[in-house]
Structure 1
Amino acid sequence: MKKFCLMMFSCYSLTALAQKQDYPIQPVAFTQVKLTDHFWTSRIETNRTVTIPASFERCESTGRVKNFQMAAEHKGKFCTTYPFDDTDIYKTIEGASYSLALHPDKKLDHYVDSMITIIGRAQEPDGYLYTARTIDPLHVGPWLGTQRWEKEQENSHELYNAGHMYEGAVAHFLATGKRNLLNIALKNADLLVRTFGAGKRHVAPGHQVVEMGLVKLYRITGKKEYLDLAKFFIDERGHKEYNKKSKNVYENGIYWQDDKPVIDQDEAEGHAVRAMYLYSGMADVAALTGDKEYLAAIDKIWNNMVGKKMYVQGSIGAVGDGERFGDNYELPNATAYNETCAAIGNVFWNERMFLLHGDAKYIDVLEKTLYNGLISGVGLDGKSFFYTNAMQIRDGFNHPDIERERAGWFTCSCCPTNVVRLMPSIPGYVYAQNGTDVYVNLFISGTGDMKVNNKDLKITQQNNYPWDGALAFTVNPASSMDLNLKIRIPGWAQNQAVPSDLYSYQTPLNKKIVIKLNGKPIDYQIQGGYAVISKKWKKGDKVEMNLPMDVQRVIATDKLTEDAGKIALQRGPIMYCAEWKDNDGKAANIIVPQNTTFSTVYNANLLNGITIIKGDVKTIQVGADGQNVSTVNKTMTAIPYYSWANRGKGEMTVWFPQQVKYIELITR
């Protein structure tokens, strides 16, 4: 860990001379945050001991590793389905590197080096690295052109592969100090610099991420050509000839976020994962260059997404055709797509928006996505996954886009390997700082170490979040220091289901959050969603607050017609669902009347430990003859949405009708 931190410091010091500006707020590195809670440490440990090894094993068993071996020998036949399958190895290396930074493991370190050797042998002399072409350039398949980058703006994914390689290389270098993968990445990036740019080849990458990767290379090398190329790729969007009158998202360019220049875009559009990577790249470049037009664009796009295109549990990308955003308020439940990769990208983007603006609303969205629509994508066993994340599963209704049960891997396994790299980085989302402003963004027991005016500061959190709202923060400066401690007061605790009017609480929650300093209540100001406590802090100062953990009925705007007359259940940051296993084999027949009261209980033995919600409800019963319908009083059990489909296949629902007239009858 010390090696990582020193190297991170030296790398960022190197670029400080070249960088005139950056994000005004900086995250506290994940290596400086030690978690001690159960909720996240168990998941991160499962990722280390189960998900990472399983991912590498599947890269071998499915032929992804063999592709690199054949590319090194320039013979054979590309043996997986998609030309972007190379990235599954890069992303797994990235996740393994994060894990190594926190938990040294000689066996894993040696294995990663063996993978890097295989990757290096597949690289062509000028730096090109793309196994789908290198294996046999004369027989490349329909996704590739006969020449390099010929179909990059369509489906070749050559630059997408490069971007994930860069991100994996930077993570590996910072974690281990080794340059073996970094040198491969830099050689490839130098090829891109020679190939693309003003007066050279022009292309808008078909699947974004190379922009984010180039920025990371710039940060550790100070080579401005990498940053310039990232901006060039972003600015190339919106200049290709499309049929602008067509409503087909492929024909009009919307699918690729390519229908107009990025600075003219004001809606979240097209393929949701590509969109998240584009907007994240725009935020990176804006932070480093001060591009105000980029800032104005992503601000508008964020408002559109959060106000009109996001599901109640934080998922995005409603439409299966194109894995994309639909029109405004197009958020169907029965066919919701919600790719796990899109949720991960949503976390990336919202973290960057916070670093730009310092507003808690971005962390509110990040938290909602993280605790709900993201971790739903990985099973509690760490080796089963959802590519899509359903909002509703009903017996008698089947749709090709709706996954009813988890799978070990997929032909396109971008989501499992994205989970691999996201999970160990979670400690890096807890704290951030800007000079003497220290932000507490996520509530996870553990310690965070940082420096304020070159003096050491340790913050210790004690809580049982997300199940309990009692939070305690102990501030331990090396010596007395002035600082502004900014503790996020979540929007969900301030009568705001999301930071827009897309969803709201049916009954307003009006509870003042009491904050105590060393046992005594204090007055505080809220700025940008943060309770600000400014003082000269001394060792052992303790802040306490208690967030309300009432069960809230969430309703949707009238513009979401599918959710009319229905409620969703939220407690703290957690969204709930009803699953067949707890409700007599059915979930689609539940009615939650307005007078239902709810009780909660923590069950340590269920689904790795969860708080469940119970309530007396009515259920629809269809007679054996199929002719008669009646209502029966039952006690409903609801579980956290993220935990569904860990006990087999069956019905599930997030939205509950409050009256019989809003229920949809589908029988077996």
Structure 2
Amino acid sequence: MTFIKKTILAVSILMTVCGQAQQRLKKSNSPKKSGYSITPVNIQNVKVTDAFWLPIIKKVQEKTIEYAIHKCEEEGRMDNFLIAGGKMEGTVKGQMPFDDTDVYKIIEGASNTLISEPNPKLEILLDSLISIVKIGQEKDGYLTTWRTINPAKPPAPWVPVIEGKRWESLQISHELYNSGHLIEAAVVHYEATGKKNFLDIALKNADMLVRTFGDRADQVHGVPGHQIVETGLVKLYQVTNNKAYLNLAKYFLDNRGNPKNHTLYGAYSQDDIPVIQQKEAVGHAVRAVYMYAGMTDIAALENDAAYGNAVNHLWTNMVNKKTYITGGIGAKHDGEAFGENYELPNLTAYNETCAAIGNVYWNHRLHNISGNSDYFDVIERSLYNGLISGLSLDGKKFFYPNALESDGVYKFNRGECTRQSWFDCSCCPTNLIRFIPSIPGLIYSKSKDVLYVNLYTSNTAKITLDKTNLEIAQQTNYPWDGKVALTVSPKKESEFTIKLRIPSWARNQVLPGDLYTYATTSTAKTTVTINGKAFAYQEDKGYITITRKWKKGEKIVLDFPMEVKQVVTNAKVEGNKGKVALEYGPIVYAIEEADNATNFDAITIGANDTFKVKKEENLLEGVNTIQTQKLKAIPYYSWSNRGVGKMKVWIDYKE
């Protein structure tokens, strides 16, 4: 059955589905329960006009979403919901027990698109997809289509069947992972549209989870193998104020590493010791950062010091010893996992795209607790380098792992040494769809009468502080240029505080800690003017703080001095000894065979090399290149868009 036919079927039952939806909530303009002292400015109030980010966001909205729906149709993702609901005959399609989540993530990304810009046709399409999802849900709220279709035959041979019962293989069945993505997507869709058709599906599923899991003798004792249901339940609590959802999220986290609750899954699933005792980032990297995000939610909402201490230890370990220069995490292909401390290979680096996305979600929460710019330094490094590298310039090819070196032979990308058009396990393409349209929500945060400017990108925003309504506009050519102009326009003259983040690279710091350092210390300083007059500032947690009475149309100009910088690694990272990497602003650079065909293997960087930065509008959709007499380097994120070839980030250094 084609997707068009399915859409017709869906629309024909849509009124019935919506009519049956329980009227549990009324959409309100009041702020949802956050628990965090700092909250993001909603993407509905931020209009990006940027020459760098707007084309990437539009590409996902206009090309990647449509492409992914087509691929999901080809591989039977929508069929599974119809088969599970008895509207179509057949056996389960696809090869993964979490294929349902591809549909949820597409809905979430498309819903974020609706938040930023209304689109009636897209909204109708989402209603159709949601009605198809509804068909696959069992009467009590359970929703994992492969198990409903035939519990004796999971789509993946590595999912064990004991008696064919629900939850019997929680370590690997992904039933709770499916619920997590369902809930996350439904909350975003509700916030985008005010409609409850998807939210009610999620509420029904979550209510079933609350009844099913717990400490009572008649409940299932266990935790998810792959985390994300925890953050989904927290978001549902924030929307509904139903404490049962928050309590279940905490139950799942509290019981990891508890052998009295279940047979432990081990360090791979962060289930070897209780979460509040964990101090080292181990195991499957995506599972880890999703769990750490959930732990941070509990630390904030429950004011839980033990959870707060744990996430601080875990973050320090990850950033100081296990993070790539591109912001990527997860060194090992085996288990898609973190390596040992300082184990950061380049050719065999894993750096799953989903892990980069999860790391942004986690660091955003940490910033919302602390207001410390360190977390946005990690976010910015990931965004501009090891995250968007996962998507090709045409929006239709993807990296699952993101290596820092390629010999043109080793097929690091699940059987290829360049981006692929899709994967049997397609979590990364649909996670990019889910995440990229939400990027405007990272730019600003607020707390009482304080506005945080976290990222620099051309935009206009309408913001409500406790005592002030204001508009703010940014104009910049960042990341290619370090000059940023901001216009501040309160509705009426008002006193409030603006905090402007100084990126770590402009403070002579690659990342917090000593994993990476710049070979030389720059003496150039960030300058600030207000209405044309120099402003003397003191840094506070990496921010410039300006408190004053603001009038309409006042102008702030920031100038972050950009220069080519050489990065060296802590000597404990064996593979990078005697090598340097190049950066310009927030961008990490790589040399690619396409630009250095005659001498690629012999390229070195020397003490007397002179670097030239050149803007090339017709190369890779317009980039700054770094050039010497011996090499030409391009932004790392843009590599492998011109065919298969060699690439490396770390380059031999010769005195």
Pair in the same fold by TM > 0.5: yes
- Whether 2:535 is the aligned partner of 1:548: answer no
**Which of the numbers 634, 641, 649 marks the counterpart of 1:646?**
641
**Which of the numbers 50, 53, 58 marks the counterpart of 1:37?**
50
Question: 1:337 touches 1:402 (CA, 8 Å); kept in 2?
Answer: no
SS at 2:335 equivalent: coil
SS at 1:83 equivalent: coil
- Whether 2:133 is the aligned partner of 1:93: answer no
SS at 1:263 equivalent: helix
Matched with 2:19 is none
- CA distance change for structure 1 residues 127 and 397 in 2, over 3 Å: closer, same or farther? closer
- Whether 2:144 is the aligned partner of 1:130: answer yes
- Partner Cα separation in structure 2 for residue 254 and residue 124 of structure 1: 33
Q: C-alpha offsets along residues 395-426 of structure 1, whole Å, 9 cap, x if unaligned?
A: 45556768521111100000000000111100
Question: 2:616 touches 2:623 (CA, 8 Å); kept in 1?
Answer: yes
- CA distance change for structure 1 residues 96 and 178 in 2, over 3 Å: closer, same or farther? same
Question: 1:76 touches 1:136 (CA, 8 Å); kept in 2?
Answer: no
SS at 1:482 equivalent: strand
Matched with 1:227 is 246
**Which of the numbers 362, 377, 389 marks the counterpart of 1:364?**
377
Question: 2:43 touches 2:115 (CA, 8 Å); kept in 1?
Answer: no
* RMSD between aligned residues: 2.1
Taking the TM superposition and a 5 Å limit, the aligned residue runs for 1:17-32 are 22-32=35-45
- Whether 2:167 is the aligned partner of 1:154: answer no
Higher mean alpha-carbon deviation, 108-117 vs 639-648, is at: 108-117
TM normalised by structure 2 equals 0.92
Offset of 1:242 from its aligned partner? 13
SS at 1:258 equivalent: coil
**Which of the numbers 403, 408, 417 marks the counterpart of 1:390?**
403
Higher mean alpha-carbon deviation, 100-109 vs 187-196, is at: 100-109
**Which of the numbers 195, 202, 206 marks the counterpart of 2:221?**
202
Question: 2:449 touches 2:466 (CA, 8 Å); kept in 1?
Answer: yes
Q: C-alpha offsets along residues 589-620 of structure 1, whole Å, 9 cap, x if unaligned?
A: 31111211100111111111100100123xxx
SS at 2:289 equivalent: helix
Higher mean alpha-carbon deviation, 417-426 vs 112-121, is at: 112-121
Question: 1:585 touches 1:651 (CA, 8 Å); kept in 2?
Answer: no
Matched positions, count: 626
Question: 1:267 touches 1:300 (CA, 8 Å); kept in 2?
Answer: yes
The one-letter code matched in structure 1 to 2:249 is A
Question: 2:295 touches 2:307 (CA, 8 Å); kept in 1?
Answer: yes
**Which of the numbers 184, 193, 204 marks the counterpart of 1:167?**
184
- CA distance change for structure 1 residues 476 and 535 in 2, over 3 Å: closer, same or farther? same
Q: C-alpha offsets along residues 89-144 of structure 1, whole Å, 9 cap, x if unaligned?
A: 00000001111222222222222111111111111111111111111234346415
Taking the TM superposition and a 5 Å limit, the aligned residue runs for 1:501-512 are 501-512=514-525
- Partner Cα separation in structure 1 for residue 376 and residue 319 of structure 2: 12
Question: 2:401 touches 2:413 (CA, 8 Å); kept in 1?
Answer: no
Higher mean alpha-carbon deviation, 211-220 vs 233-242, is at: 233-242
- CA distance change for structure 1 residues 484 and 10 in 2, over 3 Å: closer, same or farther? farther
Offset of 1:587 from its aligned partner? 3.4
Matched with 1:5 is none
Taking the TM superposition and a 5 Å limit, the aligned residue runs for 1:577-596 are 577-584=590-597, 587-596=600-609
- CA distance change for structure 1 residues 397 and 426 in 2, over 3 Å: closer, same or farther? closer
Q: C-alpha offsets along residues 364-413 of structure 1, whole Å, 9 cap, x if unaligned?
A: 00000010000000001011100010110114555676852111110000
SS at 2:627 equivalent: strand
Matched with 1:247 is none
The one-letter code matched in structure 2 to 1:654 is V
- Partner Cα separation in structure 2 for residue 548 and residue 532 of structure 1: 19
Matched with 1:620 is none
Question: 1:242 touches 1:253 (CA, 8 Å); kept in 2?
Answer: no
Question: 1:84 touches 1:157 (CA, 8 Å); kept in 2?
Answer: yes
- Partner Cα separation in structure 2 for residue 179 and residue 262 of structure 1: 34
Matched with 1:71 is 84
- Whether 2:651 is the aligned partner of 1:656: answer yes
Taking the TM superposition and a 5 Å limit, the aligned residue runs for 1:123-522 are 123-140=137-154, 142=157, 143-145=159-161, 146-199=163-216, 200-240=219-259, 253-395=266-408, 403-522=416-535
The one-letter code matched in structure 2 to 1:447 is T
- CA distance change for structure 1 residues 49 and 187 in 2, over 3 Å: closer, same or farther? same
- Partner Cα separation in structure 1 for residue 26 and residue 633 of structure 2: 46
Q: Which runs of 5+ in 1 are unaligned?
A: 1-7, 245-250, 618-635, 661-668
The one-letter code matched in structure 2 to 1:104 is P
- Partner Cα separation in structure 1 for residue 307 and residue 501 of structure 2: 27
- Partner Cα separation in structure 1 for residue 228 and residue 291 of structure 2: 7
Q: Which runs of 5+ in 2 are unaligned?
A: 1-24
TM normalised by structure 1 equals 0.91
Higher mean alpha-carbon deviation, 39-48 vs 104-113, is at: 104-113
Question: 1:240 touches 1:258 (CA, 8 Å); kept in 2?
Answer: no
- CA distance change for structure 1 residues 323 and 585 in 2, over 3 Å: closer, same or farther? farther
